[in-house]
Structure 1
Amino acid sequence: MCKTSTSKRTTQQFKSLNAYGASTPLNLIGKFESEICVDGEIQSAEFLVTDTVCGSLLGYRTATALKVLKIGANINTLESNEEFKRKYPECFHGTGKLKDFQLKLHIDKTIEPVAQPVRRLPFSLREKVEQKIEDLESKDIIKSNRCYTICVAISCRDQRKQ
């Protein structure tokens, strides 16, 4: 538990101070110095008071002195993923397929469909791609629907005739 002691108020002229991304300076109405305590660390800090309603910000010097800000590499890195695998084992097996979920595509009916040209698959990759497609179908990740493209092409042709 920290106990703060004295605070002293000053009424001097301030430099222009802008909020992040703002072009107009903040209207500073006061400044005081006080002690601030975080996790047992006590630090003397200068506080600037504005007339705007906003959250409080902690300056770089005060934040580093209180050890709430650390600048450097490897701040939020994990030693290994094993901790998460032990904590959430249900998330780390299987393919993660959503069950009983049908995606609804929102298509703007005012825009005329445009047929894209066929992009041929390199001959050397055809067997690998076919194996991958069969593998994904067997795992029930994708579903073969060969009729759909034909039906869409026919419906687009019929719409153009009208």
Structure 2
Amino acid sequence: MPTVRPATSADADAIWSILEPVLHAGETYALPRDWSRRQALDYWFSDGHEVFVAEDSGDVIGCYYLHANQRGGGAHVANCGYVTSAVASGRGVATVMCEHSLQHAKDRGFLAMQFNFVVSTNERAVKLWRRLGFDIVGTIPKAFEHPRLGFVDALVMHRRL
């Protein structure tokens, strides 16, 4: 079972190796497919993002960030982004990271977690988030341009902590 810990600057290469294929594929994140290593890591480690990695036997096999979804009156709702390495796909890494993030967000005083833009064709993620208690609270029609499927819906998913 993987363990989750705060990321350090020493994890940058491992995090990039996880992010790069996902960003370049362009199927699950509304981020530029042509981002460089520096651009992707600057985003992942943005001010206000707490970054964590999932490790198994010393290898980083997943990463996520947590931050307030909005400022001011919306700062009590957390938001996260998760990516699992291809070699660890299907091994429960995303489940472990999400469970960790839910507890960490609660410990930090957040009252809920919201995912603003879950690509509807990312069926594994949608199924996992629903299993972990998230509800689909909105659908944004044709909001994501999938590289193979064209324009597809994005979902807003929410869960109270």
Q: TM-score category by the smaller chain? A: under 0.3
TM-score, with normalisation over the residues of structure 1?
A: 0.21
TM-score, with normalisation over the residues of structure 2?
A: 0.21
Choose between structure 1 and 2 for higher RCO, CA contacts under 8 A separated by at least 6 residues. 2
Which of the pair has more CA radius of gyration? 1
User: Which structure dedicates a bigger proportion of its chain to helix?
Assistant: 2
User: Which structure dedicates a bigger proportion of its chain to strand?
Assistant: 2
